[in-house]
Structure 1
Amino acid sequence: MTRDIPASVRGQLENLARKSGRPLQELMQYFVMERFLFRLSQSEYVDRFVLKGALMFTVWGSPQSRATRDIDLLARAENSVDAMSGMIKEVCRQPVESDGVEFLSDSVHGAIIKENAEYPGVRVTFLAMIQNARLPMQIDIGFGDVIYPTATVIDFPTMLDFETPRLKG
């Protein structure tokens, strides 16, 4: 008999929500961000991106005052909407052992952000699914920023018993 992994994941997240007192929607959002980072860590693009922003507080074990709904990355790649959207589509399609999450690569949409800045960035949005729950994803990609302290390889903490994302942060 095959196991319904998306249903199992959702059930585990519901249990975690009850135990922690955190909203299920927030936990599902963090879970899909974690699983996107895992796919990125398994992709050919892993060395082109550095995790930064609020999700680094998770790595450092610091409590967050508010839930974050996006992933902030620094790219060492072509600063264009098409290039970033293409890479994110490929990461969404990255084959991995089933973790109950489906990223809808056909929903990927990119746009320029910080248009008047010295280094404009790219925002990529798309949808993730856990069972019938549709979860919006947003990745803000910067270019040319200085990272301090220097980026090192990190293990991003996992919420459930799945392989750990390993990437620069």
Structure 2
Amino acid sequence: MTPTQFSAKTRNVARETGLNPQLVQRHYMMDKFLEKIAESSYQDDFILKGGFLLGSKYGISTRSTIDIDTTIRRFKATEENILKVFNDLVKQSTKEGIKFEIKSISETREADYYPGFQVKLFGYLENTRVPFKMDLTTGDSILPEVTKHKHKLMFEDKIIEIPAYPIEQIIAEKLSATLSFGVDNSRAKDFYDLYTIPKLEEIDQKSLYKSVRNTFSKRGNLEKLESYYDRSMESIANSIELKDRWDKYKKENPFAKDISYDETVDSIKQILNECIEQEKISDQRKR
């Protein structure tokens, strides 16, 4: 693929989806890097999660992102190990002539729960340079079990398989973060996801409750779920700051433009209420 062809293809997708062409270019480079992982000896070491997984499931016109979120397993998360793995992954160009380069590796911590690393990379197609990031966490407790996700590549009729979070775990972590951050939450994308996912997925409520309860407990939140609802939901619903952040998110992401802040809050309330009901049923059975 030439840079001219690459530019034309990404412009076409941008026009069809209403997304920024640079975002489409970045998505393509992340696509090709994920393909490298899926076809390497590290294919089972990275568990896909977050916005890229949701965009893969529902389409980038419904959910776009600027990075790849993963959890790593089967190797110890040290800078030395991660550098070795990524050096192996970027060693060879793709069949399209894309070369990847590691810019930096830095240690991170996701909301004080999971230690991890962020790897910044460049994808090069001749003189075209596209930056993207890959976030790696470790220590996640995943319930139900990891699934095998089939991801269709953007510009070709090809599907790759990669381990991925079950949808219940995605909801559980976003719900936990939403209640933990409260009115200080800057993650408007979580409000969008907690509104959208229940409309696109058939979710088993018992399985979701188990995942939510497990996630809350692993993060040190051992009280009944109802107490977190009572403590946080009213202030979240009435927060001017959160409403303003949501309005900004809507302006920047055309797929969210017709969704009101109140609708996202109602969806979060419904998810949590259903989990509260499951917890009450579970408690009754234990008596």
Residue of structure 2 in register with 1:164 after alignment = 159
Bigger RCO (CA 8 Å, 6+ sep): 1
For these two proteins, the number of residue pairs brought into alignment is: 161
Q: TM-score, normalised by structure 2?
A: 0.51
Structure 1, unaligned stretches of length 5 or more? none
Amino acid at match of 1:130: L
Residue of structure 2 in register with 1:93 after alignment = 91
Per-residue deviation at 1:73? 0.9
Task: Render the CA deviation track for 1:48-100: whole Å, top value 9, x for unaligned.
Answer: 11101111212321622xx31111111111110121122122112245422x5
Task: Render the CA deviation track for 1:3-27: whole Å, top value 9, x for unaligned.
Answer: x544323221122223333221010
Richer in helix (by share): 2
Among candidates 38, 43, 48, match of residue 51 of structure 1: 48
CA contact (8 A) 1:13 1:27 kept: yes
- Equivalents in 2 of 1:154, 1:102: separation in Å? 25
Q: Percent same amino acid among aligned pairs?
A: 24
Residue of structure 1 in register with 2:21 after alignment = 24
- Equivalents in 2 of 1:21, 1:109: separation in Å? 31
- Equivalents in 2 of 1:147, 1:113: separation in Å? 20
Residue of structure 2 in register with 1:109 after alignment = 104
Per-residue deviation at 1:161? 1.2
Per-residue deviation at 1:109? 1.8
CA contact (8 A) 2:152 2:158 kept: no
- Equivalents in 1 of 2:47, 2:145: separation in Å? 10
Tell me if 1:152 matches 2:130.
Answer: no
- C-alpha change, 1:58 and 1:119, in structure 2 (3 Å) is closer
Structure 2, unaligned stretches of length 5 or more? 165-287
RMSD of aligned alpha carbons:
2.3
Aligned to 2:152, the other structure's residue is in SS state: coil
Q: TM-score, normalised by structure 1?
A: 0.83
Residue of structure 2 in register with 1:13 after alignment = 10
Richer in strand (by share): 1
Per-residue deviation at 1:156? 1.2
- C-alpha change, 1:115 and 1:159, in structure 2 (3 Å) is closer
Task: Render the CA deviation track for 1:121-169: whole Å, top value 9, x for unaligned.
Answer: 1111121123433211211101110223421111112221153332111
Aligned to 2:37, the other structure's residue is in SS state: helix
- Equivalents in 1 of 2:48, 2:5: separation in Å? 28
